[in-house]
């Protein structure tokens, strides 16, 4: 055997050994850093508890007694709406389903649309009545339709609260009427508001509606009924997108207010304000503070190539690493401090693998702290190279 043949045999042997080599990078990264709470003394809020949150990142930029457990009144219905939208998304119900109103649902007092026992209404119109007019009877009718009973639905509410890390929340009913153990916090309200607005932005179709109507279908015939939004910020505040008011003797005056300007979304929660005008004024104060002082900075766009990774045992020798998720970071307005991306790639990945296989991470730093991250993934699938393919590549290299 001549010298060239010995070298070729050695290369083939090494190639065969590589068939059992693998590269691993670890667990999937999250698309954004965990929420960070930063209390501010720049403003004071005339309410027992308050919070201001940016929902895409979960960053809290103002808080006041945000973990104090208080009665939420009809702000409760944010969770009711969230579970309705979840049920539609999971195809458990549809917007065109017809709901028969029970005696129990029709008996609800407080804010209502005066549903009658046996009346038929669509899921769509009941949901609109909850979001616009804060209708207790519509909320309980939907709770019974989804949960089998209001008690069954309340169990779903509390499970969802636990899923969202609403650790200081316990619900007793679907509409927010006062009971001894029906309690939540400003932070927990912000968390469920964030989930609803992020996951189901279509809810704005109702939460931004100032006035609308439904039709009562009763034994007396069809009767039109007017709805007016209980959230005055829809008329008063530029960029208002929702979300929910609440008031009872125990809760006083509460509000979860959402708004958007120049790509920045904010959630302002007010609990136990002394009167209805104050809750709106203080929510606007928080929103003004947020829009005046903060902005969203965007990371590298999803799909952008951030480098390449070697491929073992593949039909190609390297693969592009691309950004998997868009990342947003909350920064101080007018800051000159940059968002710094740090790219971390594996040395190599073993074929076969699919497009989207994790090959690294991009981590964003702002003022020395992590503010977001995304996986870097393989741009395309790569098949495992067969022996003929590997021999062919070796021959090409040999003759080169």
56, 134, 193, 247: which one is catalytic? 134
Q: What is the DSSP letter of 334?
A: T
25 vs 18: CA distance, rounded Å: 18
Cis amide leading into 352 (omega within 30): yes
> What Å distances lie between residue 9 and 113, 173, 230, 389, 391, CA to CA?
85, 76, 81, 16, 10
Per DSSP, 337 falls in state P
Of 74, 247, 256, 374, the active-site residue reads 74
Active site residue 256: no
Which residue in the block uniquely carries the two structure tokens 């015939």? 221
Residue tagged active-site, from 48, 59, 66, 77: 77
DSSP-derived secondary structure for 261-301: ETTEEEEEEEEEESSHHHHHHHHHHHHHHHHHHEEEEE-SP
Residue 253: which of 284, 280, 279 has the closest Cα? 279
d(CA 127, CA 295): 33
134 is catalytic: yes
Distance of CA 393 to the CA centre of its chain: 48
Q: Is 77 a catalytic residue?
A: yes
**DSSP codes joined into one string, 134-170:** --HHHHHHHHHHHHSSHHHHHHHHHHHHHHTT-TT-B
Residues assigned a catalytic role: 74, 77, 134
């Amino acid at each position: 055997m001549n010298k060239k043949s010995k070298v070729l045999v050695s290369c083939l042997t090494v190639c065969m050994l590589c068939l059992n080599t693998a590269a691993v990078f670890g667990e999937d990264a999250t698309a954004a850093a965990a929420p960070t709470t930063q209390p501010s003394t720049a403003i004071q809020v005339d309410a027992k508890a308050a919070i201001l949150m940016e929902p895409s990142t979960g960053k809290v930029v103002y808080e006041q007694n945000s973990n104090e457990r208080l009665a939420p009144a009809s702000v409760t219905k944010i969770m009711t709406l969230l579970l309705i939208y979840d049920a539609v998304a999971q195809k458990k119900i549809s917007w065109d389903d017809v709901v028969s109103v029970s005696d129990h649902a029709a008996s609800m007092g407080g804010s209502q649309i005066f549903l009658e026992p046996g009346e038929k209404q669509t899921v769509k119109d009941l949901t609109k009545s909850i979001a616009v007019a804060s209708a207790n009877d519509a909320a309980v009718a939907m709770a019974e339709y989804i949960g089998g009973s209001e008690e069954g639905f309340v169990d779903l509410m509390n499970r969802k609260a636990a899923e969202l890390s609403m650790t200081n929340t316990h619900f007793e009913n679907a509409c927010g009427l006062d009971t001894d153990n029906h309690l939540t916090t400003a932070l927990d309200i912000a968390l469920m508001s964030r989930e609803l607005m992020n996951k189901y932005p279509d809810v704005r179709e109702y939460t931004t509606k100032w006035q609308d109507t439904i039709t009562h279908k009763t034994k007396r015939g069809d009767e039109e009924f007017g709805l007016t939004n209980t959230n005055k910020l829809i008329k008063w505040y530029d960029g208002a997108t929702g979300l929910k008011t609440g008031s009872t003797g125990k809760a006083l005056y509460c509000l979860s207010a959402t708004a958007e300007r120049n790509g920045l979304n904010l959630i302002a929660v007010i609990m136990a304000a002394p009167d209805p005008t104050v809750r709106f004024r203080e929510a606007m104060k928080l929103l003004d503070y947020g829009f005046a002082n903060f902005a969203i900075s965007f990371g590298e766009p999803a799909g952008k190539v951030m480098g390449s990774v070697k491929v073992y045992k593949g039909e190609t020798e390297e693969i592009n690493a691309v950004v998997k998720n868009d990342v947003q970071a909350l920064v101080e307005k007018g800051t000159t401090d940059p968002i710094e991306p740090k790219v971390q790639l594996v040395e190599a990945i073993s074929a076969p693998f699919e497009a989207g296989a994790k090959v690294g991470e991009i981590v964003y730093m702002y003022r020395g702290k992590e503010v977001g991250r995304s996986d870097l993934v393989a741009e395309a699938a790569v098949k495992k190279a067969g022996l003929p393919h590997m021999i062919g590549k070796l021959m090409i290299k040999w003759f080169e």
